[in-house]
Amino acid sequence: MQALIETIVTPLVDHPSDIEIDVKEEDEKIVYHLSVHPDDVGKVIGKNGRIAKAIRTVVYAAGSDSEKRIYLDIM
C-alpha cells in the first residue's frame, strides 16, 4: 500500500525525495501518515481537497479486501 501511495503522490510534488509514509497498525485499522515538503502540501490536497479525496478513494478501494479499515492522513 505504501508503494501505491508513493506512486500516486510522486508526480504531484516538486520534492519527491521528501515524501515520507509512516504506518501505524492497530487492532481494527491501519493508518498511513503521509508527509510531504511544506511547499507541496497544497498540491497534494488540491482545491477544496479534491486531490486528497481522490487519493483516499484509490487507497481505500485497493485495501477493500483487507479485514482492517484503512485510513490516510496527510500532514
What pLDDT was estimated at residue 65? 86
Which residues of the chain fall below pLDDT 50? none
What pLDDT was estimated at residue 75? 86
Closest-CA residue to 71 (of 10, 21, 12): 21
Q: What is the Cα–Cα distance from 32 to 58, expressed in whole angstroms?
A: 13
Asked if 64 contacts 30 with a C-beta cutoff of 8 angstroms, the reply is no
Q: Which residues of 47-75 are buried (b: 16+ CB within 10 A; e: fewer)?
A: eeeebbeebbeebeeebeeeeeebbbebe
Q: Which CATH class name applies to 2-74?
A: alpha beta
pTM over 0.95: no
What pLDDT was estimated at residue 55? 95
